[in-house]
Amino acid sequence: MDCIFCKIVNKEIPADFLFESDKLVAFADIKPKAPIHILIVTKEHIVSIKELQDASLTAEMVMAAKKLAEEKKMEGYKLAFNVGRAGGQEVDHLHLHLMGGFN
Ligand code: AMP
Ligand code: ZN
């Protein structure tokens, strides 16, 4: 499958993982839209929030973002899921944007 995030998860494309769990990895966004911009990405190829039946995975993603924000000493931050093309989603593999470092 030609999915850039699957390739990163499978280490076919090198990336520094800032966080890793059994279900998730996190790495820096290649085109940061904030001083610190990290993507929390599922290991499983799930297209978007639209595919989910419950909040368990997204809850884990939010808690991973919170942990990273604490590690990076972010005073405040934005969390965003873009869902579908009309929602600004460009990469069709579930991810949460963590944007901070404004302080
Ligand atoms: P979205 O618009 O929500 O699908 O966000 C996709 C994000 O992935 C964008 O902010 C891109 O800058 C980022 N991105 C695309 N390719 C890579 C890559 N190879 N490594 C890191 N981030 C990437
Ligand atoms: Zn994928």
User: Per-residue pLDDT tens for 22-80?
Assistant: 999 999 999 999 999 999 999 999 999 999 999 999 999 999 999 999 999 999 999 99
Question: pLDDT band at residue 89, thresholds of 50, 70 and 90?
Answer: very high
**pLDDT at res. 52:** 98
Per the CB < 8 A criterion, the answer to whether 49 and 28 are in contact is no
In the sheet that 36-42 helps form, which strands lie side by side, from edge to edge? 19-20, 24-28, 36-42, 95-100, 77-80
**pLDDT at res. 87:** 98
Instruction: List the domain boundaries for the chain.
Output: 4-100
C-alpha distance from residue 82 to each of 12, 64, 97 (Å): 25, 17, 8
For ligand 1, atom 12, name the residue with the nearest CA.
31
- Ligand 1 and 35: CB distance under 6 A: no
Closest ligand (CA of 83): 1
The structural architecture, per CATH, of the domain 4-100 is 2-Layer Sandwich (3.30)
pTM, two decimals, is 0.98
Question: pLDDT band at residue 83, thresholds of 50, 70 and 90?
Answer: very high
